[in-house]
């Protein structure tokens, strides 16, 4: 089975769409803002222009999670755990302007006016993922694994980057009119976890800035798998406990849960009802990564060799989709929220051009739906695809 990080890295497009510059955090100023291996966190920046000069897309990269200390140690020796792999002059084996991007500088991040007419010229920040915990780790002391040392300090990276963006006039986030906090996969989960805090950081500097959240492919479920087991729950619990992330999830959610269930505040369906800022959710209702890792399906629908198993898989997918739609009721019931919830058997749906500006629901693309929600364009700001079938139009 392919890992989530492998799937995402394989999606980097072979074209340069805009100029991104890599900046690393100064550890003399932000000493705890370290990747798993102790190297400084960082981000890529592409300046806006024209009508987008005062508008911002700030993206948190995804790439799954590490789920035990040895797993995190292994990750610390890759681009998802060390900034020593990031390049400011070009990416290994790719012409992508953003190294190791979820979908490259594509989809919502595309700087081509034809492919992304509403957002192409906005300021773009791509925050590199290197803590393995959706930017939530808050462990002060270094962690010893065998003869090596690693660091669980993603929350310090996130705070340092926003401080740099807000205080450095080279970026000038403080002058923003609109800020969209977005992310993909584990980075999409980070949006659920941190967007209210990020909004408070920005509005403390400029109360007039409109801040909204747009998590992509981050609505990971906590449901029994195909065999009736909660096989992925232990991973959520381990990250929550090992990363000491209690202070970096929603305080109201924490207050509403007993200590033995506070880990739920690290999972999007449980924390969504507590978010205060407007939210636009981009997700597949039959998420392709979840089919193998959370659902643990024995085969994908349409490819099962046994007709009985095929019927059982399809029935399970219907149940999973129904549960996800129910957990998304806070989006449907609040007119300030919106979303594009498609049924394609895919994972990344916000940062790939095809799913951003070609796949439609009720004749409307995701790009058009987002514009209707954020910018007051024509059409609906919430689109939910019909029930899954064995041949969705994707």
pLDDT of residue 4: 44
How many whole angstroms separate alpha carbon 314 and alpha carbon 317? 5
Task: Tell me the two tokens of residue 381.
Answer: 């700001």
- CB contact at 8 A, 62 and 183: yes
Asked if residue 393 belongs to a domain, the reply is: no
126 within 8 A of 61, measured Cβ to Cβ: yes
Q: Does 369 reside within a domain?
A: yes
> How many CB atoms sit inside 10 A of residue 140's CB?
10
**Helix locations, 25-179, DSSP H:** 69-75, 154-167
pLDDT mean for each 10 residues of the chain (394 residues): 40 46 95 98 94 97 95 95 80 53 77 94 94 97 98 98 96 97 96 98 98 98 97 97 95 96 98 97 95 95 92 95 96 96 92 92 95 92 81 62
Model pLDDT, residue 104: 64
This prediction's pTM: 0.92
- Residue 254 in tokens: 């924490």
In this structure, the chain runs to a length of 394
Residue 7: per-residue pLDDT = 38
What pLDDT is attached to residue 99? Answer: 55
What is the rounded CA–CA span in Å between residue 154 and residue 163? 14
Q: Is 363 left (phi over 0), alpha (psi -120 to 50) or beta?
A: left
Domain that holds residue 359: 4-384
Token readout for 107 is 């989809």
Whether residue 391 lies inside any domain: the answer is no
The answer as to whether 389 is a domain residue is no
Q: Residue 375: which CATH number?
A: 3.40.50
**Assigned domain for 394 exists:** no
- Gap between the Cα atoms of 112 and 106, Å rounded: 9
Total tally of structural domains belonging to the chain: 1
Flag whether 169 is in a domain.
yes
- Assigned token pair, 77: 């020796």
pLDDT of residue 302: 85
Distance CA 264, CA 297 (A): 24
CA 121 to centroid of chain Cα atoms: 21
pLDDT of 96: 56
Q: Is residue 390 part of a domain?
A: no
């Amino acid at each position: 089975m392919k890992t989530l990080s492998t799937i995402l890295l394989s999606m980097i497009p072979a074209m340069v769409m805009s100029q991104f510059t890599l900046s690393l955090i100064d550890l003399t100023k932000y000493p705890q803002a370290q990747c798993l291996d102790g190297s400084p966190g960082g981000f890529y920046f592409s300046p806006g222009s024209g009508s987008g000069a005062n508008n911002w897309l700030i993206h948190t990269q995804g790439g799954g999670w590490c789920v035990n200390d040895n797993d995190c140690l292994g990750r610390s020796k890759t681009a998802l755990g060390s900034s020593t792999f990031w390049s400011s002059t070009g990416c290994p084996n790719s012409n992508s302007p953003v190294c190791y991007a979820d979908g490259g500088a594509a989809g919502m991040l595309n700087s081509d006016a034809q492919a992304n007419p509403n957002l192409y010229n906005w300021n773009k920040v791509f925050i590199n993922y290197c803590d393995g915990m959706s930017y939530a780790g808050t462990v002060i002391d270094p962690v010893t694994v065998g003869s090596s040392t690693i660091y669980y300090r993603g929350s310090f990276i996130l705070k340092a980057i926003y401080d740099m963006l807000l205080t450095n006039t080279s970026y000038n986030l403080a002058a923003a009119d609109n800020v969209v906090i977005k992310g993909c996969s584990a980075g999409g989960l980070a949006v659920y976890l941190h967007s209210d805090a990020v909004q408070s950081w920005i509005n403390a500097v400029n109360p007039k800035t409109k801040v909204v959240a747009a998590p992509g492919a981050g609505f990971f479920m906590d449901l029994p798998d195909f065999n009736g087991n909660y096989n992925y729950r232990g991973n959520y619990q381990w990250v929550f406990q090992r990363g000491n992330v209690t202070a970096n999830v929603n305080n109201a959610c924490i207050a509403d849960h007993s200590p033995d269930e506070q880990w739920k505040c690290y999972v999007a369906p449980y924390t969504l009802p507590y978010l205060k800022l407007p939210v636009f959710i981009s997700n597949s209702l039959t998420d392709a990564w979840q089919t193998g890792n959370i659902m643990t399906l024995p085969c994908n629908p349409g490819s099962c060799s046994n007709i009985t198993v095929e019927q059982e898989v399809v029935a399970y997918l219907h149940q999973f989709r129904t549960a996800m739609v129910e957990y998304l009721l806070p989006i449907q019931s609040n007119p300030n929220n919106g979303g594009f919830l498609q049924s394609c058997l895919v994972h990344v749906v916000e940062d790939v051009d095809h799913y951003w500006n070609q796949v439609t629901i009720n004749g409307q693309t995701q790009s058009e739906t987002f514009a209707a929600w954020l910018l007051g364009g024509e059409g609906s700001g919430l689109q939910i695809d019909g029930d899954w079938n064995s041949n969705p139009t994707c």
